[in-house]
Each structure stands twice: as structure tokens, then as C-alpha cells.
Structure 1
Amino acid sequence: MKNLLCLSVICLFVLLWSGCSAADESTEDKNDDIEETEESNTNNVETDNQENKTDDGNNEESESKPNELTNEKAEEILLNLKQTFMVETTNDNIVINYDTVAELQQHFETVMSESLAERYLDGYFQKENENLKLLATEEPAWFQPEEDYSLEEENPTTYHLIQKQQSELHGNKEYTFTIKAREDTTWYVSNISSKDINQEFTEKDAIELVSEHLEGELGDNMALRFDRMEEGNYIIHVFENTETHTATYGWYEVNPETEEVTSMF
């Protein structure tokens, strides 16, 4: 009987000990799960913060970088340049809306550089009796939207619009309009430069050279006409043209490179 009682006590003790051990293990597992969850949440927060910083950096870079300058935008800028220069004046060329050079320069610098504004002010305006006056002279050379041009990128903030123009006033020139971006990414005209272009030799040039070559020999009834090209040279026919007949006076060859005139007879 005593042995049976002792055995029962021992079994009860074993069951209690096993239950306590299982409870401790369960508690430890729960604690481990909580720690892993907290660590995972911390890592997610750090990752989100890093992504937000990266996004902020990209946004700042995007905000500070100007958009690509398109042909349409470049044309708009250069046409606005001309419109800004053409200030309203009286019949006596007195500037109406700007009383001082400083005011007019500030107006110009909304679309152009300080140096270009000063160039326009020095060349086309003067102070007269406390007034600003637009000088009666030829206008600056402007961009011609109906003519061909090329737009070249030097870097993301600097472009060059290049256009060839020919006029009686300015001659045959190639203009370079330099357009730059300000720190606030707005575009403005930084500079305008030009260079002379050698005009292509034409039939008219060949006829004029022959006429100069025969100066003093041609009568009122004499005519000169381009006939054909031979080995790169212009052939000019000189003839007498009257009401009754046409008589050849001579044939002349003109070298377009040397501008030499040679009689073919």
C-alpha cells in the first residue's frame, strides 16, 4: 500500500514538472516571436526612411534640372526677345513706359543676359532731356522663324540656335543665338554672335565679271547671257541684239574659283 502511494506521488510530481517546462518553452517562443516582429518592423521603418530620402533626392535633382529645350520653345524665346526689345515709343521715338536706363535694362533682363541688355542699350537708346529715346537706326538682327536653322545642345543648360540670313542691310551672315537656363530653370538669351559667309558664285556673278572685263567695249545693243557650264566653268555668250539681227560678239569662260575671265575665240 505504501509503495502504491509513493508511486502515485512520484507520477504527480513528474506531471507537474513537465507542465511547467512546457509553459516556460511556450513563453520563450512567444518572446522570440515578439522580438522578431519588433526587429522586422524596425527594419521596415529604416527601409522606408531610406527610400523616402532617395525619393526626396531625386525630386530635388529633378526640380533643379531644366527641361530639354525644344525647337518650339527656342523659337518662342527668340521671338519674345524681339518683342521685349520693341518698346512702345512716341512719334519722336521717346520711350513711354520706362523713364530710366535702369528700368529699361531690368525689363530687358527678363529675357536676356545683362551683357546683351547693355549692348542693346548702348547701341540703340540714348538719354535726351530726361527721357529715353530710341535711336533712328537699323534694328538688330533677329531670328527669322520662316528660315531654316539648327538647334545644337552644348550641355543640358546651354543651347545654340544657328541660322544663316541674307539681307541688303546685314549682308550674308551666320547668326548664333545662345540660350541658357537660369538657376530657377527658366531660359534666357545669353548672347548673339555672327560671322560673314562667302556667297556662292552664281550665273549673275559670271555675267558681271565678263561685263567688267569688257568695260568700254559694249554698246547699247550688246547683251550678255549665261549659256552653259563646261568643266566647272561658266560660259557666257556676248552678242549684239538689234531689231533686224543678232550677231555674236564673243564667248567667254569664267572660272568661279579664281574669277578669271578668258575669251574662247
Structure 2
Amino acid sequence: MRNIVVVLIIILVTSGCGTQTSSNNDRKSQESHHVDQSEKNSAEMLLEVGAPTKVAINELENQNTLQVFKQTDTTKVSEENNTDNFQEEEVFLKLLNEYNYMFDRIKPDVNYDEFNEEHVGYKFKTIRTKEQLFNKFTDIMTVDVAQKTWDVFVKEGENGLYLIPMDLYPMFDKNNPYSIEKINNNTYKLVHEHQSGLHGNFDMIFVFEKFDNTWKITDLAYQYPDKQA
């Protein structure tokens, strides 16, 4: 009888351990399933809100690369334009320097020993007409601009051309502010802020055009505050 009781106790203990092991396994399986399901739900939520996938990241990198390329390309074009403008500016400044010293070209031809009271001027030695005078400057400007600049300073008479003594035209001063605007490949406009006690303050507007690969001043205008001349 005593042996039978011992055997029954052993059977009950063994059965209980098996049940506990089985319960533990079932619990672990349920927890694993719960974790997998949670990860699946999290992944689905990320996709729904537009989280970056590997494909999306690649596309974003490609867009950034393209954007950098565009910026670099634009910068290159801008630098080329600035270089072109700088080269043209040098040409324009040389022309304006020649414009400032136009009188030096004709001064040797003026006879300061012969002043004509009738024409109120000094007679030129060899230049006899306004047209001849204007043609002295056609390497830097058109005849029209030369006429606009010089017509008021000279007077034609029966015996020749006379220089009227008066203050010269307004000069270009590169130390004063100026701006250059590109109209097209063959036309530029330079606006210069002229400031002097002799002529006053106003804008000088020069237009440069290229003819047969040569730049010339093709227009010159003065713009005063609140009015234009």
C-alpha cells in the first residue's frame, strides 16, 4: 500500500511539470506572435505615413544630385556672363577715355593766334567744315554722336571752321558710380552718374553697339532729375 502511494505521487509531480512546460511554451509562442504582429503593424504604419523606403531614399539622393548639378551649371553660366561683361567693360572704358580726350585730337589744328570777332572763335588750320570735324571721331563713335557732342562748339564761316571758346562737354569719370546693362550681344547701355561743379549732377547715358566686330558709341543722352534732355 505504501509503495502504491509513492508511485502515485511521482506520477502527479511528473504530470505537473509537463503541464507547466507546455504552458510556458504556449506563452512564449503567443508573445512571439504578438511581437511579429506589432512589427508588422509598425511597418504598415510607416508605409502609410510615407516613411522613406530604400527606393524613396535613392530617388531623393538622385534629386539632390540633379539639384546640385543644376546649381553648379547655373553658377558656371553666371560666371561666364560676368567674364564676358568684364571684357566688354574694359572696351567701353577705353572708348570713354578716348571720348574724354577728343579735344586733344583737334587742338593742334586750332590757330589760337587768329580770333575772328564775327564768328567769335578761333579758326581751324585745315579743318574747314563741321563734317570734316565730326569724321575725326568715327573710330570711337558714330557721326550722329559726334555731331551731338561738337555741334555747339564750332561754327562754319565763309573762310573756314571756327572753334567757339567755351567750357568743354561733360566728361566720364570712372570713379563716379556707373552701371552697365546688356541689351543684346551687340548692344550695351552704360549709365554714369555725372557729378561736377561745372555741369551739375545728372546721368550720362551711353549706348555701345558693335559694327564689324568693332564697338562704337552710338548714342549719348543726359538725364536730369525729374526731367530728360
TM-score w.r.t. the length of structure 2 is 0.51
AA aligned opposite 2:98: N
CA distance in structure 2 between the partners assigned to 1:126 and 1:147 by the alignment:
33
Listed one character per residue, the Cα deviations across residues 199-235 of structure 1 (whole Å, up to 9, x for unaligned) are: xxxxxxxxxxxxxxxxxxxxxxxxxxxxxxxxxxxxx
Which is bigger in relative contact order (C-alpha 8 A, separation at least 6)? 2
Alignment of 1:18-57 (within 5 A): none
Alignment of 1:1-265 (within 5 A): 70-86=88-104, 87-88=106-107, 89-91=110-112, 92=115, 93-182=122-211, 184-197=212-225
TM-score w.r.t. the length of structure 1 is 0.45
The answer to whether the 8 Å contact 1:85/1:108 transfers is no
Aligned CA-pair RMSD: 2.2
SS in 1 for 2:169: coil
Moved over 4 A (4+): none
CA distance in structure 2 between the partners assigned to 1:149 and 1:128 by the alignment:
39
CA distance in structure 1 between the partners assigned to 2:185 and 2:136 by the alignment:
26
Task: Measure how far apart 1:129 and its partner are.
Answer: 4.5
Task: Measure how far apart 1:97 and its partner are.
Answer: 4.2
AA aligned opposite 2:111: T
Equivalenced residues, count: 131
CA distance in structure 2 between the partners assigned to 1:148 and 1:129 by the alignment:
44
- 2:73 alignment partner in structure 1: none
Task: Measure how far apart 1:85 and its partner are.
Answer: 4.2
Listed one character per residue, the Cα deviations across residues 135-165 of structure 1 (whole Å, up to 9, x for unaligned) are: 1122111211232311211111111111112
CA distance in structure 2 between the partners assigned to 1:175 and 1:121 by the alignment:
16
Q: Percent identity?
A: 22
The answer to whether the 8 Å contact 1:179/1:188 transfers is yes
Return 5+ residue gaps in structure 1 as ranges. Answer: 1-66, 199-265
Task: Measure how far apart 1:79 and its partner are.
Answer: 1.1
Listed one character per residue, the Cα deviations across residues 174-198 of structure 1 (whole Å, up to 9, x for unaligned) are: 111111111x111111111121237
Greater fraction of residues in helix: 2
The answer to whether the 8 Å contact 1:158/1:181 transfers is yes
AA aligned opposite 2:219: N
AA aligned opposite 1:94: K
SS in 2 for 1:144: coil
Task: Measure how far apart 1:96 and its partner are.
Answer: 3.3
Listed one character per residue, the Cα deviations across residues 43-88 of structure 1 (whole Å, up to 9, x for unaligned) are: xxxxxxxxxxxxxxxxxxxxxxxx8652221110111123234411
1:84–1:167 Cα change, 3 Å? closer
